[in-house]
Amino acid sequence: MKEFNINNLVRPNVAGLKPYSSARDEYQSTGSEMVFLDANENPFQTDVNRYPDPQQRNLKAELAKIKSVSTENILLGNGSDEVLDLLFRAFCEPGIDNVITLPPTYGMYKVLANINNIENREVLLNSDFEPKVEEILNSVDQNTKIIFLCSPNNPTGNSFSEENISEILKKFNGLVIIDEAYIDFSAKDSWLNKLEDYQNLVITQTLSKAYGMAGIRLGICYASGEIIEILNKIKPPYNVNELTQSRALNRVLDVQRVNSEISDLLNERDILSEALVQVGFIEKIYPSDANFILLKVDNANKRYEQLIQKGIVIRNRTTQPLCENTLRFTVGTGEENRKLIEALKNIE
């Protein structure tokens, strides 16, 4: 295989692109009292009358510190969904290029492929929900730009083996995106500390799950400086708003609270798993590295409806490949989980 070269991957129009230069890009505050008459803002104070920092410097600096990476390795977006869309738009030529995804997995990869008119080659996971590495590599052709690995995987809950992931990273010459939305619940290490070992590694994380901030929309991309530079060229200048930046920073600074919530949820996950064993119609409880549990039941559609009747909403995954008659339960508070167990024990 040829050497990895990011210039062979990026779309030609993106490579030649000059990004929009905003008022806040052209003059950055140096701390001295300046009169800002450059961005056509309303000068009267509303707390948000000024445009936000397009490079989110304060938030990135804090993330860089806690994740031990450089700020040049970080791009922030309006949820991971925007980050993933930017990756498609930077690297995949509509109507020509393709990506590889591994169902059953997060549905957005396929949706984004369709929106961007990119062929989505699906290689199912094996029966242990691990990637079939050989089959994946055999599906690669010269127009394959990205392989999406979701680990821990949604909806199955497992993390992929380190061996399988590193083999794909080593043998594929395009980008390997590891979606680590659930990494904070996992006993396994993030791939972040391998960022310098693989030029083609892209990691996405989010504040939507363990950090408890789904409502503010903050997604994070970690990758080489080269890749981040390309994504920066095409991102909308003010893609992360001021309120999101400040709420995210406060939350990221509150590591202790976040960690204590995570350990509560992990504890609840164990309690829930044990209680589920006693429910007759549950046939299998899949091990989870995330804040949800996938179950195989006798009849998913029926059990889903019964739980709705009892006021509990879960996710029916029965239509997903390899997931016939499965239901996905998010781990809630102790009280919510007790209600769930109570409901499960009382349906026939």
Q: Which residues bind ligand PLP (CB under 6 A)?
A: 79-81, 106, 150, 154, 179, 181, 206, 208-209, 214, 219
Please state the closest distance from residue 76 (CB atom) to ligand PLP, in A.
11
Sign of CA dihedral 6, 7, 9, 10: positive
Minimum CB distance to ligand PLP smaller for 10 or for 108:
108
What is the distance of C-alpha 172 from the center of its chain? 21
- Cβ atoms of 100 and 121 closer than 8 Å: yes
How far is residue 323's CA from residue 284's CA, in Å, rounded to a whole number? 11
Minimum CB distance to ligand PLP smaller for 10 or for 113:
113
What are the strands of the beta sheet with 119-122, ordered from one edge? 74-77, 219-222, 201-206, 175-179, 144-150, 98-101, 119-122
How far is residue 85's CA from residue 221's CA, in Å, rounded to a whole number? 12
How far is residue 310's CA from residue 217's CA, in Å, rounded to a whole number? 31
Please state the closest distance from residue 9 (CB atom) to ligand PLP, in A.
22
Minimum CB distance to ligand PLP smaller for 80 or for 245:
80
Minimum CB distance to ligand PLP smaller for 52 or for 155:
155
The backbone torsions φ and ψ at residue 302, rounded to the nearest 5 degrees and listed phi first, read: -65, -45
Please state the closest distance from residue 314 (CB atom) to ligand PLP, in A.
15
Please state the closest distance from residue 345 (CB atom) to ligand PLP, in A.
28
Please state the closest distance from residue 348 (CB atom) to ligand PLP, in A.
32
**Paired residues of 315 in beta bridges:** 328
Please state the closest distance from residue 188 (CB atom) to ligand PLP, in A.
15
Minimum CB distance to ligand PLP smaller for 209 or for 235:
209
Minimum CB distance to ligand PLP smaller for 199 or for 246:
246
Minimum CB distance to ligand PLP smaller for 9 or for 248:
248
And the tokens for 73? 């390795």
Region of 63 (left: φ > 0; alpha: ψ -120 to 50; beta: rest) is alpha
Please state the closest distance from residue 82 (CB atom) to ligand PLP, in A.
7
- Closest residue to ligand PLP in the complex (CB): 79
**3-state SS class at 205:** strand
- Cβ atoms of 36 and 56 closer than 8 Å: no
